[in-house]
Structures are given as C-alpha cells and as structure tokens.
Amino acid sequence: MSLKLVIVSALAAASAWAQQNPVLGETTTRVSDHVWAIMGWPNIGIVVGSRGTLVVDTGLGPKNGETAAKVAAKLSAPNAKLYLTTTHFHPEHAAGDAGFPASATLIRDATQQGEMEARGKEMVAMFASRNEQQKQLLSDVNLRTPDVQFTDEATVDLGGVTVRLLWFGAAHTKGDELIFVEPDRTLISGDVVQNKVVPNIPMNGGSAASWLAVLDKVAALNVAHVLPDHSAPGDGAMVAQEKAFISDVRSRALALKQQGVNADQAGKQISDEIKTKYADWPNTNVANFVKFIYSE
C-alpha cells in the first residue's frame, strides 16, 4: 500500500471516530500548506497566514469554541488577528462563538445570518433536548451578531494567504457558506461537499436542484483539496462525486414520480439501486433525500 493511501485510510478512520464525539480535542490534521483541521463533530478548519488566522466553525457550544480558539492560537503567528466564520447556522457549526475572544472578527453571509435570526435559538433548543451532554454543551450559547456580513463574496487577507468566503446559493441550508483558500486550492465545504455521505436537506433548506447549481459553481474553482464538516478530507474529485450522486438520485426519483410511484416506495427502490452502484459508501439509504426531491 502506498504512503498516500495509508495516510488517507488513517484520516478516514480518525474522522469516523471523531464524528461520534461532540467534544473537540486539540489534535490537528494538516490538510494543505496553510490549512489544518480538528477532526470532530464537526471538523473545524483553521487557516493560518503570517498576519491572521481564520477559524471555520465553532463546534457545539462555547466549550468547544474555546478549544477551537485555543488550538488556533497555538498555530498562529505572534500577534496574528483572529477571524471566525461559519459554514451554516446549525448549532454544531455556529453556536460556540461565545468561546472565542471578543476581539475575534466574526464574518458570515447575510442569508445565513437571516436563518440564524429566524431559527437559531429554535435549533439550539432542539439540539439541547437530544441528551444531557448536548444540553450541557449548549448551556451558555451567545449567538452574537457578525461584525461583517456579505452578500455573495468576501475576501480575507491573512498575510500571504487569501481566503474567499462564498455564498453560491442554497444547498444543505439556504445560507451555506463555502471557504476557498486560494494558494492551496483548498475548499472548506461545510455540508455542501461531503466524502461519501448521503446529502441531507433539513426543513427550509435548499433543494436537490439548487444544490446541483451550487456544485456547478464550486467545480469552476478547480479545487485540489476538500475539508468537509462531517467526513474525512479528500481531493478535488469529491466535488464531481457529490454532483454525480445527487444527479443520479434526483433523476431516478423524478422518473419514478412521473410514473406514479409514491415517495416511500421510490426511496426504498432507489436505495437498493444506489447500494449496488455506490458499493463503497458506508450508508446508501436515500429515503429521506428522495422525499425532499419529491417535494421540489
């Protein structure tokens, strides 16, 4: 087995374990020249330049946010400015901002902030009700207002590292933000591009059609590395893989819908088909995703 395959296999194993644990550790994995990750629920991206450091996502609640900020400080150059951004408004991604220093500059796209204002507290309460651990982690949530909001794109110069913060449209949520680290061609993708994970569209999110439109724009970035939030890092081929999977499921679902097959039956049938075509995916149950497609 080549060294590259050994490293990829080790990252996948570490990610699989970390995704079960909502408490972040302080161990980092290097994704590319300027990008590190804390592998957890979710993966936290840390982009380091000579004058500034950008943290992507907070972890679930202030305790995790404090851990992410602490790790970022260790990686940062002396006196570096700290920036924080979030891929979307769900609590494991955005509800830990109170753990960051008040001096950290929070940047977020306006669509995501609109979702935060409309449903952020509701989502925190929902996650806190799941179990005692999540209740404790979410006990001191702040949900601060961003220092900077943007409509379609914002650029952050970290010193030798330019980072583009992008809103390409609705996918997993309406306000999904994509983070593109230009010198590395590294995409921190949130839920928009995952590594062999069935897509999910929660209530009031995007649609399969809008998700595909976003992926067309992502493809134009010519990504070399991808750090997703709930699966192992990989290379730029993950973008095409995501698009192919969604396209396959959507085209079959719409065909069965036209034939009069109900959503439940279609979900079962397509799951069986996908299991054969995507045999290396750990889970190929697309029943819920098919229901979202039927409702388009």
Domain boundaries, the chain: 3-235, 236-296
Is residue 15 within 8 Å of residue 39, measured between CB atoms? Answer: yes
pLDDT at position 13 is: 46
CA of 180: how far to CAs of 35, 167, 175, 226, 242, in Å?
Answer: 11, 11, 16, 9, 17
Measured from the Cβ of residue 78, the count of other Cβ atoms closer than 10 Å reads 5
- What lies within 8 Å, CB to CB, of 204 at 6+ separation is 115, 119, 173, 174
What tokens does 188 get? 């921190």
Q: What per-residue string of b and e applies to 26-43 under the rule 16 or more CB within 10 Å gives b?
A: eebbebbebbbbbbbbbb
Run means of pLDDT, 10 residues per run, the chain, 296 residues: 40 51 95 98 98 98 98 97 98 97 98 97 96 95 96 98 98 98 98 97 93 98 98 98 98 98 98 95 96 93
For the domain made up of 3-235, give the CATH fold. Answer: Metallo-beta-lactamase; Chain A (3.60.15)
Q: Does residue 42 have a cis peptide bond before it, meaning omega lies within 30 degrees of 0?
A: yes
| d(C-alpha 170, C-alpha 163), whole Å | 21
Phi-psi region of 38 (alpha: psi -120 to 50; beta: other; left: phi over 0): beta
Measured from the Cβ of residue 122, the count of other Cβ atoms closer than 10 Å reads 9
pTM (2 decimals)? 0.93
pLDDT at position 1 is: 40
pLDDT at position 4 is: 43
pLDDT at position 18 is: 54
pLDDT at position 132 is: 96
CA of 148: how far to CAs of 84, 139, 187, in Å?
Answer: 10, 26, 21
